[in-house]
Structure formats: C-alpha cells, structure tokens
C-alpha cells in the first residue's frame, strides 16, 4: 500500500541533489540552486502522470484541501457536502475557511451516495466534495450531473486514491480541483506533502499564491512580488519534493503489485458465499490499495474483528466503523465543535447540527465492512498465508454463529 515500503537509492539520490546545493526552499535563490528545482519538477511530473493542466504542491494533503477551498472561493456562509466516511482532514479543511461541513451518507461504494447528496442541497450549498476512499472512486458521473444541475463546484479529495481512474480519467483531475496527500502512509510519499490539481488556470494561480502568503510569483525578486490577496504558508520544501520525485517514477510499479495482490486476496475471499465486496463504479480504475469487503451482519463482522485480534492478525485489517479518525460516529470533537479558537455562534450551531444527524444508512454499511490494506512487499507465500488466515477466521466465525 504505502510507497514508504519502497524507499531506496532513488529517493536518496534526489534528496542528495538538494543537500549538495543546500537550497532547501522551493522558491528563489536562482543562482546558488544550480538548476535544481525539485518541487517544480515534481509538479510537472504530476501533470504528466495524471493528465491535468496544473499542479500546485503544498505541505500536506490537508493543506491541499484548504488551499483548494480558498482558491475555489469557498468560505463564509457556504456549505460543502462531504461523506460521513472520510479522514478528519476533509472537514478540517472546510472549517479552516469558515464554511459548514454538511455530512451525508455513503453507499456500498464507500463513497457519497448521490441521492443523499441531492437531499442535502440547500440555497447555501457551494461545493460537493467526494472522497475517493480506500483506493477507489465515487460515482463521478452522478456527482458531476448534480453539480451541473445545481451549479455547484466539484472538489475531489483523492488523497487515498493516487493513480486510480474513473472511465479513463485519473481521480483528482475530474472536478474543478482535486487533491492528493503524500504523507508517509499514502500510495506515494514525500514524508509530508500534498498537491492541488486543476485544469482551470484561475484555480491554479490562486492556489499558487494562497499557499505562499499571497505571492504573485511574477518576478525573480521574491521581495518585490505583489500580494493581490491574503495567503498562508503551506509551502513544500525541496527535500520533501525530492522524495516525491523518486516515488512518482515508481507509481506504476506500485499499482501493478497492488492489482496482483488484490486480485489474489479477492479470489480467496470470494470462495466464501457470505462475503461480498465493495461496489466499484469502474472496476478497471481501482488502485487496489485496499480490498474492502462486507459480512452479512454487524454482529458477525465484530466477531471476525475480535477473532482476528485474538489471533494477533488484525494488523492491516481496518474496521472503520469503530475507528477514531475515519468515521463520523467517533468524532465527538466535531459534534461538540471543540475548536481552540472561537467560532461564530451560527457556524458553531451549524457544525454541531450537521455532525449529529442520522447516519444509520452509513452505519448499516460501515458496521459490516472491513478493509484489508494491500502490501507491496508481500511474498507469494505471505500473500497465500494472509488469504488463508482470513478465510479460516471468517469460516470459523460463520460456523459458530450458525450453530449459536
Ligand atoms: C491522508 C488524507 C488526507 C490528508 O492528508 P495529510 O497529508 O495527512 O494532511 C485528506 N483526506 C484523506 C481522505 C486522507 O486519507
């Protein structure tokens, strides 16, 4: 799954290029840097690899989402529709620009249920933010149609689905903007980093300035740059970009391994009739970082998780339903709007209202779902053993439940 499994001489070489000049910053110092521009090079590689017109590197996936929000003009009075199953970063970014995160249910694709999205649209809705969770895609045709019908922005959180595609297009390049995370456990890593991708020049130019204190980057003298609007510092360093540059060249290799291991594991689990799988809107576009599967009931799923724990083989299997970071049921800090800084009372009330709605449709899906992370370094033997262990645990629990 994560690119850090393949850290090697290629990454060291790129980092050393930067260490040799000592210019660790991505902007300026044109002479001393001796032609080394790792962040720029990585941005070009992102455009090439994913087929988008523009890419803006930033310091994290969260910063990428925040930057995209700013560049899309999302803020005060706006509502952003996002799924109840996502990483906390998605709503953090919405809150950071003063907008209201409006959570809606996911379906058995583990992504936004388009009907739930429709039901949540109000006069204040400005943006739909699908999150392509666990390596695979939201229903982009349906969501694009809704955005068109209601004149809404589409921002893809593709942080977990680097290299996945939908009908031939890379996830993260389909909407008005899309984001990647290159944190340490993502498909490719910079240690910490992120990117905003867009085909719209205005969004790109705004992202470029927003992530660097509003600099217009129009001259060679940073000090003489103009600041057409207020920005922040979400810059990536050259050292981080250097790691990513080595990693992006390995992406196709990672994806091929994931596909192979994912297929083998899926075939093994598919021998159990009670196991079903996540709906994938475009099977050929799955990046296969996870295999997500369902059991018939919450009770059986919990028993399988307990048994995996008892046998000390739970690692790498994620039961998101009870996870503190990825599912709304555990987000008490959000439900109580526990920010360190004050919020406008109306915003606070709206945040709390939307975080405490009924998500029983999502519960019914998430309570039966386990995602198995696909390793890049598994030997055939390890893969075989993992599949066998999982199958045995599931069969054991199913037979006990039947007898009981
Ligand atoms: C990892 C992740 C992010 C945030 O990325 P960071 O680089 O860790 O800030 C955002 N959204 C999703 C869905 C993620 O998985």
Regarding the beta carbon of 60 and ligand 1, being less than 6 Å apart is answered yes
pLDDT for the residue numbered 238: 98
How much helix, strand and coil, in percent to the nearest 5, is found in the chain? 45, 15, 40
pLDDT for the residue numbered 222: 93
- Judge if 240 and 386 occupy the same domain: no
- Judge if 182 and 324 occupy the same domain: no
Q: Ligand 1, residues 95, 160, 180: which to mutate, most atoms within 8 A of Cβ?
A: 160
- Judge if 259 and 222 occupy the same domain: no
**Of 52, 51, 54, 19, the residue nearest 38 (C-alpha):** 19
Nearest atom within ligand 1 for CA of residue 86:
13
Among 250, 275, 306, which residue terminates a domain? Answer: 250
Give the tens place of pLDDT for each residue, 277-325. Answer: 999 999 999 999 999 999 999 999 999 999 999 999 999 999 999 999 9
Active centre residues (catalytic) = 186
**Of 264, 260, 257, 292, the residue nearest 277 (C-alpha):** 292
Among 196, 223, 250, which residue terminates a domain? Answer: 250
- Judge if 226 and 263 occupy the same domain: no
Quote the number of domains for the chain: 2
Nearest CA to ligand 1 atom 7: 61
Residue 256: CATH number of its domain: 3.90.1150.10
- Judge if 138 and 274 occupy the same domain: no
Give me the residue label for tokens 């992504």: 111
Give the tens place of pLDDT for each residue, 218-228. Answer: 988 999 999 99
pLDDT for the residue numbered 403: 62
Among 223, 250, 277, which residue terminates a domain? Answer: 250
Sheet holding 369-373, edge to edge: 276-277, 290-294, 369-373, 317-318
pLDDT for the residue numbered 26: 97
- Judge if 302 and 245 occupy the same domain: no
**Of 350, 358, 359, the residue nearest 99 (C-alpha):** 350
- Judge if 18 and 74 occupy the same domain: yes
Which parts of the chain have pLDDT scores under 70? Answer: 1, 403-404
State the average pLDDT for the chain: 97
Residue 123: CATH number of its domain: 3.40.640.10
- Judge if 227 and 261 occupy the same domain: no
Alpha carbon distances (Å) from 195 to 137, 151, 287, 332: 18, 25, 18, 29
- Judge if 156 and 218 occupy the same domain: yes
Nearest CA to ligand 1 atom 10: 89
Regarding the beta carbon of 97 and ligand 1, being less than 6 Å apart is answered no
Regarding the beta carbon of 189 and ligand 1, being less than 6 Å apart is answered no
- Judge if 141 and 32 occupy the same domain: yes
Regarding the beta carbon of 156 and ligand 1, being less than 6 Å apart is answered no
Which residue range(s) make up the domain with 214?
3-250
């Amino acid at each position: 799954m994560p690119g850090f499994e393949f850290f090697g001489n290629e990454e060291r070489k790129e980092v050393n290029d930067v260490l040799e000049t000592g210019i660790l910053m991505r902007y300026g110092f044109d002479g001393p840097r001796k032609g080394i521009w790792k962040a720029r090079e990585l941005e070009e590689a992102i455009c090439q690899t994913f087929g988008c017109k523009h890419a803006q590197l930033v310091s994290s996936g969260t910063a990428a989402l925040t930057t995209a929000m700013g560049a899309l003009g999302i803020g005060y009075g706006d509502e952003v529709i996002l799924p109840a199953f996502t990483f906390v970063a998605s709503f953090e970014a919405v809150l950071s620009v003063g907008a209201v995160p409006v959570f809606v249910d996911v379906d058995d694709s583990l992504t936004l249920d388009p009907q739930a999205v429709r039901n949540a649209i109000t006069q204040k809705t400005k943006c739909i933010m699908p999150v392509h969770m666990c390596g695979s895609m939201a229903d982009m045709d349906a969501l694009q149609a809704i955005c068109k019908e209601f004149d809404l922005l589409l921002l893809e959180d593709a942080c977990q689905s680097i290299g996945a595609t939908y009908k031939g297009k890379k996830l993260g390049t389909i909407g008005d903007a899309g984001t990647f995370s290159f944190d340490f456990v993502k498909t490719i890593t910079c240690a910490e980093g992120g990117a905003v991708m867009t085909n719209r020049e205005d969004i790109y130019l705004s992202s470029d300035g927003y992530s660097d204190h509003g600099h217009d980057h129009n001259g060679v003298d940073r000090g003489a740059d103009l600041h057409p609007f207020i920005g922040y510092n979400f810059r990536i360093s050259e050292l981080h970009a250097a790691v990513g540059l080595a990693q992006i060249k390995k992406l196709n290799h990672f994806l091929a391994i994931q596909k192979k291991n994912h297929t083998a594991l899926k075939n093994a689990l598919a021998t159990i009739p009670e196991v079903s799988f996540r709906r994938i809107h475009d099977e050929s576009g799955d990046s296969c970082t996870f295999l997500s599967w369902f059991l018939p009931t919450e009770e059986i799923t919990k028993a399988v998780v307990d048994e995996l724990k008892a046998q000390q083989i739970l690692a790498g299997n994620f039961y998101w339903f009870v996870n503190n970071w990825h599912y709304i049921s555990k987000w008490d800090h959000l439900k109580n709007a526990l920010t360190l800084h004050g919020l406008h009372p109306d915003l606070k009330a709206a945040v709390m209202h939307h975080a405490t709605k009924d998500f029983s449709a999502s519960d019914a899906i998430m309570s039966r779902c386990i995602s198995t992370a696909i390793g890049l370094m598994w030997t055939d033997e390890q893969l075989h053993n993992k599949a066998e262990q999982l199958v045995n645990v599931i069969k054991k629990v199913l037979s006990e439940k039947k007898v009981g």
